[in-house]
Amino acid sequence: MADGAGAALAGRRRDPAATTSGIPRRLRGDVLIAAVAAVFTLLQLAFVHPGMGLGWDETVYVSQVTAHHPAAFFSAPRSRGVSLLVAPVASWSSSTELLRVYLAVLSGLGLYLALRAWKGLFPARVLATAGAFFATLWVTLFYGPQAMPNYWVAIGALVCVGAFLRCRQGLSGRAALWEVVAGAALMAWMRPTDAVWVTLPLLVLVLVRRHWLLLLALAGGLAAGGVEWVIEAYGWYGGFGERLSRASEIQGGLGWNIAVDDQMRSLGGRGLCRPCTGSMPHPVVTLWWVVLPAVAVLGVVVAVRARRAARTVIPFACAVTAALPYLFMIGYAAPRFLQPAYALLAVPVAGALWHLVGTARGRWRPVVAPLVALALAGHLAVQFAVLVGTVDRNVASREDWARVAGELHRLGVRPPCLITGHESIPIGYYTGCSSGATSGNNENTTAAEIVDTARRIPVAAVTGPGGTPPGYARDWAPHRIADLSIRVAPRE
């Protein structure tokens, strides 16, 4: 007989990629990760106010490419990747809202492409889970629409490691090699030193296994992304070693320094924990961070037992090396520093979660599955609570800078002008002025140059709470703006 149960079974065998909805499984996987990326973009726009003003570091990066503000001092640790990333909008528009929307959409697209780099290595549901886990961390949602480098290092890490694994398994041919180049270049473009730490296990592996083509792709990508930073080192800092030394000095001197507790203190929503003092956040806020490595290790164990160790062990190893300098070599903390590690750990974490909730026969575990779902729901509640509080605090602090700028305009400090002293970089950006510092990490001028500048354009010296005005400004007219003392140079 041509019909009946046997014919139906034969029909299914002829088209194993088809689903009951008529959508090929390959396309269904694309739709799933695209949905995760789209929801990520929408959550950014909903929770991180597009009108939230630019932060301190953002003003530095954006000012390099905008015609509406003087370029702020660009210190040794920074790289030009973020400035070039925002240039398509910031070069012609001063709208913060437009920039936020642009970056939110771009970050969603980046997440989609990063997850696609892992196709063929894991089922679509595992990739979507990994993407959803990373995308719903408060630090990912908060920094996705911001002009900051760490999220993009994380995206580059996912692309590079995923494509690297596909190359090792002979998937996608030359295309995967070019993705390795692109991922490594993106990381080095944003933060060259982070790129080296992330790719360290990959470089060791290709050298041991003598995969020369992969070595060329990795080295070529790192060189392509980092060449501008190296050229700038010789042009501005006296050489590569000198720039590294200055960068280390600005970061407090890199060396053995346990910062695990500092990172935990920053989990409550502190953008920069320097110095990192005060009490720890509530244990419910830090619990996920303590559990995360344990779940990732479980994912590695599951993969080893299933004889597919490499595709899980390698991203785990890259996550460990990415986190090492920020956990054990720096004297302060910022939650965004660990974004590349979180992104890479999301892969073994997703594998572990699916192992916990389902059996080998594809059935749900009746007790464990609801418990895992409940734990994830609590995790999401904590992440969004921290996110809302962090956004509110940052909106308020950036509005303070805008108010100070408004008062400075009222006092006659308008472009072209110069702001020096306390928080001179963000206040200068909001005022439309250049910023100057005679000491510290952003030193770029002298007292004599400031006094000379005051003869030509408006200059204001800002003193923070409890501070004393600089010697060159003690005779300038004092004004009080909130808790700041502002001294405006007299015009001759």
Q: What is the pLDDT of residues 440-488, one digit of tens each?
A: 999 999 999 999 999 999 999 999 999 999 999 999 999 999 899 999 9
Pair 172, 59 in one domain? yes
- Does the pLDDT at position 10 exceed 70? no
Q: In this predicted model, what pLDDT tens digit does every residue of 341-350 receive, in sequence order?
A: 999 999 999 9
First to last CA, the chain: 105
The whole-number pLDDT of residue 5 equals 35
Residue 366 inside a domain? The answer is no
Cα angle, residue 423 at apex, residues 419 and 426 outer, rounded to 5°: 75
Residue 385 inside a domain? The answer is no
Pair 190, 96 in one domain? yes
| Cβ(76)–Cβ(60) below 8 Å | no
Whole-angstrom CA distances from 379 to 36, 262, 292, 463 are: 18, 21, 11, 41
- Does the pLDDT at position 8 exceed 50? no
Pair 349, 404 in one domain? no
The whole-number pLDDT of residue 24 equals 66
Residue 10 inside a domain? The answer is no
Pair 352, 401 in one domain? no
Pair 181, 275 in one domain? yes
Residue 383 inside a domain? The answer is no
Residue 12 inside a domain? The answer is no
| Cβ(153)–Cβ(195) below 8 Å | yes
The whole-number pLDDT of residue 7 equals 35
Mean model confidence pLDDT for the chain = 92
Over residues 200-214, mean pLDDT? 96
* Residue among 197, 161, 205, 207 nearest 182 (CA): 161
Pair 469, 349 in one domain? no
Residue 367 inside a domain? The answer is no
Q: Lowest-confidence range among 103-107, 222-226, 479-483?
A: 479-483
The whole-number pLDDT of residue 19 equals 45
Pair 229, 297 in one domain? yes
Pair 339, 411 in one domain? no
Q: Are strands 459-463 and 484-488 parallel, antiparallel or unpaired?
A: antiparallel
Pair 225, 100 in one domain? yes
Token duo for residue 344: 């890479």
Q: Number of folded domains in the chain?
A: 2
Q: What percent of the chain has pLDDT over 90?
A: 85
Pair 305, 165 in one domain? yes
For the whole model, what pTM was predicted?
0.93
Residue 275 inside a domain? The answer is yes
Q: Any residues with CB less than 8 A from the CB of 118 and at least 6 apart, and which?
A: 127, 130, 158, 162, 165, 166, 347
Residue 222 inside a domain? The answer is yes
Q: In this predicted model, what pLDDT tens digit does every residue of 254-302 receive, in sequence order?
A: 889 999 999 999 999 999 988 888 889 999 999 999 999 999 999 999 9
Pair 343, 420 in one domain? no
Pair 346, 400 in one domain? no
Q: In this predicted model, what pLDDT tens digit does every residue of 339-388 receive, in sequence order?
A: 999 999 999 999 999 999 987 777 888 889 999 999 999 999 999 999 99
Q: Lowest-confidence range among 4-8, 60-64, 303-307, 441-445?
A: 4-8
Long-range CB contact pairs, 309-315, < 8 A, 24+:
310/165, 310/168, 311/121, 311/122, 311/165, 311/169, 312/347, 312/348, 312/351, 314/161, 314/164, 314/165, 314/201, 314/202, 314/205, 315/161, 315/165, 315/344, 315/345, 315/347, 315/348
Q: Which domain holds residue 481?
A: 394-488
- Does the pLDDT at position 111 exceed 80? yes
